[in-house]
Each structure stands twice: as structure tokens, then as C-alpha cells.
Amino acid sequence: MTLSLLINGSPHQVDAAPDMPLLYVLRDHLGLNGAKYGCGMGQCGACTVQIDGRAAYSCITPAAAVQGRRVTTIEGLSAKDGALSPLQHRFSPRR
């Protein structure tokens, strides 16, 4: 199935099973590795993204469920000039 996703403000067409976790689509199809696999059960928060501005666990969110919604990953918090957001800066070992 081709999924139409809006990730970090950019549209993407992804061939994936509709029940594939959003986390796998982000990491394996789009190369966005900021969201991590931790527990895979919605308990640890390592996979957290924003969906329409609200925090969500991408490991338990089917990719098809976010079609037509805005998904923001940690990578999407950067300014257009590439500058780190305050949150990204806090995670950076180079600060």
C-alpha cells in the first residue's frame, strides 16, 4: 500500500503495510533515526514524535493512521538554516 505522509513539513509517498508502526517507516523508509526503538510497547518514550502537535509513541502508531496528519520528529525541530532547536541542543554532546 502506498501511504501519503507529511513528515517534518514535507510530503512523502511510502510503500508499506498499513499496520507497520510509524517508527519503522520513519527509520527504515525515510532514514529519520531520531526516534529510537526502546520497548516497542508504548512505555518508554524513546520513539516519541509529535502528531498534529501532540506527543505520540510511534512504535504503537500504525503508519496508515497518520495519513493526513502532521508528523514532527526531532529532526524536524531544526531551523531552516540547520541551527539546532533548544531541545536538540540539550541532546547534543557538542554543547
Interaction of residue 7 with ligand FES, rule CB under 6 A: no
Given 40, 51, 75, 84, the residue binding ligand FES (CB under 6 A):
40
Given 14, 30, 46, 51, the residue binding ligand FES (CB under 6 A):
46
- List the x/- string, 52-91, binding to ligand FES by CB under 6 A: -----x-x--------------------------------
| Cβ-defined contacts of 32-39 (< 8 Å, 24+) | 32/7, 32/8, 32/73, 32/75, 34/73, 34/74, 34/75, 35/73, 35/74
Given 6, 14, 30, 44, the residue binding ligand FES (CB under 6 A):
44
